[in-house]
Structure 1
Amino acid sequence: MTSADAFRERLLPSAGVHLLSVLAGGAGALAGSYWGGWAAVTVGVVAAVLVSAGLSLTAPVVSVVPTGDPADGAPADAPRLSAGDAVIPLDALGAAEEVDAEGIRRLLGPEADARAYVCHRSWVRSAVRFEVTDERDATPYWLVCTRRPAQLIAATGRREAGA
């Protein structure tokens, strides 16, 4: 296997998603208006900031850690894919497939496998589906949302399915 290129992406919400914060702030202001104007403004601003911060702070990180980085306790020669809180060695992954928004909908709906690992955020409209080839792992595949699917596939050193 060729050495993997480093890849790191935090699945932060887009600016449009942060409009939910404004709606939450408006709802908070409406609720706080019972106690007066200053309370309404204060509650609205606090609600908007909390929702925006919550969306940003809980955004998962997708990364490919190449060889030579034993910082998280893994052997220095074991490159791995990390998506959210889960980590898998690249040796346990098979073919990769770029998935568009419609494919994500299918893989999370009618074609879903309950054993699959999914790192998904609704504001990310593309993903990569990695086949898991480790016989000891009951997980059939990983579905990892990313805004840069081709770069993620390249960083793992995998071939795209059907290529």
Structure 2
Amino acid sequence: MSSQHTAPETPEPSSQHASPAEASQVRYQERLSVAWWVWLIVLFVGGAGFVALAPISIAMGVVVGLVLVVVIAVVVQLGTPTIVLTDEDLRVGRAYIERRYVGGAEALRGDAARTARGPGLDGRAFMNFRVSIPDLCRISIVDPVDPTPYWLTATRHPDELARAINHGADQIRS
């Protein structure tokens, strides 16, 4: 499945007299939906439920198979996090941080992403990994009382997320 993604619009210069509606404008949004092959696994589990009970009762096998597919699909969908960046905050799944505490961001792909997930990982970092999304964005945290040095999140569009965060960070600093 493709991700739902809203590319950041070219923001107009910020005004000190921005209205509340403008202040909370979404600069970037992405739903980290699972890859197409995960749905094949869901169907396989439903089929396995059917095969396990079909010798006893075909009807019970069908019911159990369908229930398994529906329940797992609902759980997968409910567990799908979103990334939302506004002028006021950054949300990754259930995690939230005020925009003023968000520093710069860096897009990570390939070997850089593998290193960031493994030997280069700081255990204090907030992590949002997805098995079907290999690319990452590292977002530095500049809150002096927060021990979290950075957020590391999976994203299908790391360059666009980093650009949106860095553009907003430049505006907040100036």
Range class of TM-score, shorter chain = 0.7 to 0.9
Shift of residue 139, structure 1, vs aligned partner: 0.3
Q: Do the aligned residues in 2 keep the contact of 1:95 with 1:130 (CA within 8 Å)?
A: yes
Question: Where does 1:45-56 land on structure 2 (aligned, <5 Å)?
Answer: 45-56=66-77
Q: CA RMSD in A?
A: 2.0
Structure 1, unaligned runs of 5 or more: 67-78
Aligned-residue sequence identity (percent) comes to: 31
Where relative contact order (Cα < 8 A, 6+ residues apart) is larger, the structure is: 1
How many residues end up aligned between the 2 structures? 146
Give per-residue Cα distances to partners, 1:68-122, cap 9 Å, x unaligned.
xxxxxxxxxxx21110111112222222111114433322222222110012211
Equivalents in 2 of 1:13, 1:96: separation in Å?
Answer: 24
Equivalents in 2 of 1:29, 1:119: separation in Å?
Answer: 34
Structure 2 CA distance for partners of 1:128 and 1:40, relative to 1, 3 Å: same
- Tell me which of 17, 30, 35 is aligned to 2:38: 17
Equivalents in 2 of 1:102, 1:123: separation in Å?
Answer: 16
Q: Do the aligned residues in 2 keep the contact of 1:5 with 1:154 (CA within 8 Å)?
A: no
TM-score normalized with structure 2 length: 0.75
Match of 2:161?
A: 152
Shift of residue 135, structure 1, vs aligned partner: 1.6
Match of 2:102?
A: 93
TM-score normalized with structure 1 length: 0.79
Q: Which amino acid aligns with 2:81?
A: P
Secondary structure in structure 2 of the residue aligned to 1:16: helix
